[in-house]
Amino acid sequence: MNSNAFVLGNLSEGNYNQQLILCRVFCSAFKSSDFFYQMDAINILHQRALNLRRRMREIEDGRAAQERLMRLQKEGDTLSYQGNSEEVGCYVAGHPLSKRNCYFEVTIVDTGVRGTIAVGLVPKFYRLDHQPGWLPYSVAYHADNGKLYNGNPVGQQFGPKCARGDRVGCGILSENTEAGSTTVFFTKNGQEVGSVEVPVLAEGLFPAVGMHSMGEEVKVDLHAEWFLEEDDSMMMVDSHEDDWGRLYDVTVSGTLLEYIGKGKSIMDVGLAQARQPLTTRCHYYEVEIVDAGEKCYIALGLARRDYPSNRHPGWSRGSVAYHADDGKIFHGSGVGDAFGPRCFKGDIMGCGIMFPRDYILDREGERSGRPTWWWEGSPPHSNYCGSVFFTRNGKLMGRREMVVPPGGLYPTVGMLSSGEKVKVDLHPLSG
């Protein structure tokens, strides 16, 4: 029996089929009276064959799940370029897109020097020193020029350019790999940009991100959800993305604004500015602090349309703002004045303008080329002073007189520390 155990112990080195053959040979050597020995041998061999098959499957799964990257650093879901801007850096996910997981998204945290960020799909063993889309069987949407690269280093015009805060998505509409091709589509901030038919190898198409200049940084969501066009039309009523003319290091989801910047210096301000200025019919808006983040560096106020993207509202000329972290008011200066109490999670901050009776909005100005703002009996360049007021949880905190520039003052929200989220109502008095 010891010799039999020795033989069985060494069978684990063979493959599954070899073990079954040896099992039959081994068992046929026994006499009929050795039935129990035969059953023991079969059970041992079968169990070891199953264990071997399981280990082989684990090895294969491990290889399939292995992410590949070059000249990029990955921390959690964040990718950042680590090359010298002369060589491409590329990331390839461990799993291909499939019916169950057919879409992924990349949020641009920083465009770096040139913004040469590419989002697309590539074969499993794609060369990591090439941008996605440059080589055969790969396709990608490039943020710096809005072009589509489909297995060719020469791109074709496809969609708009992408900047900081933009979300670039990529997915497949079908998994018809047996036919050797599939439809790949791209999105920007949740809206479909376009689609293209691409060839597919048997191994499938893997999510990929390419970068090519210093400072580029993105966040990757390999399990993002994509809703079909008919679902989007049903949800259009609840969408508020078009309310915002400028988003810088801030993402929008419905009425929720979220800061996605680095939050390491005063230059990392996240800014959201409304598409339309305040008017006599819509002269007030509110912000609810959903998450105060690390420092609650949240500010709401009004600013001119060309206000700098990396400055908190109130810090630069042509703006005024109430800051939640210290309760101060900033009016075109980096030094604030004591104004009201600090604000925290759950507080609702409001801002508005009181207009004079003879102040009207010239709707024809939008079509004629005149400034949107117009005063009866005075030219548009006159130094009109409006009374800007702020509230906290429905109570008036105070007023500040301010010169309203031609073109008006736009609701502007600033954030500056990790985790900050606010819910914005641009029309709280509309019923």
The string of pLDDT tens digits covering residues 152-194 is 999 999 999 999 999 999 999 865 555 688 889 999 998 888 8
Does position 49 have pLDDT exceeding 60, yes or no? Answer: no
What whole-number distance in Å separates Cα of residue 245 and Cα of residue 213? 27
pLDDT tens track for 81-117: 999 888 999 999 999 998 888 999 999 999 999 999 9
What is the residue-averaged pLDDT of the chain? 81
For 26, the enclosing helix (H) or strand (E) is helix 16-28
CA angle 373, 248, 118 (to 5 degrees): 130
What whole-number distance in Å separates Cα of residue 184 and Cα of residue 176? 11
pLDDT of residue 50: 55
Query: Are the C-beta atoms of residues 342 and 325 closer than 8 Å to each other?
Result: yes
Q: What is the CA radius of gyration of the chain?
A: 31
List domains and CATH numbers for the chain: 68-221 (2.60.120.920), 244-360+382-425 (2.60.120.920)
pLDDT of residue 347: 96
pLDDT of residue 91: 98
pLDDT of residue 177: 52
Tokens, residue 146: 């809005």
Residue 341 has phi, psi (to 5 degrees) of: -70, 160
- Considering only residues 373 and 287, tell me which one the structure prediction assigns the higher pLDDT: 287
Q: How confident is the model at residue 237 (pLDDT cuts 50, 70, 90)?
A: very low
What whole-number distance in Å separates Cα of residue 117 and Cα of residue 139? 13
pLDDT of residue 406: 79
pLDDT of residue 356: 67
pTM over the 0.75 mark: no
Classify residue 15 by its DSSP letter: -
What percent of the chain is modeled with pLDDT above 70? 73
Q: Which of 4-8, 42-46, 197-201, 238-242 has the lowest mean pLDDT?
A: 4-8
pLDDT of residue 52: 62
Q: How confident is the model at residue 76 (pLDDT cuts 50, 70, 90)?
A: very high
Q: How confident is the model at residue 431 (pLDDT cuts 50, 70, 90)?
A: very low
pLDDT of residue 120: 97
Q: Which of 25-29, 52-56, 246-250, 281-285 has the lowest mean pLDDT?
A: 25-29
Q: What is the mean pLDDT of residues 209-219?
A: 96
pLDDT tens track for 260-271: 999 989 999 999
Alpha helices in 244-297 (DSSP H): none
pLDDT tens track for 310-354: 899 999 999 999 999 999 999 999 999 999 999 999 999 999 998
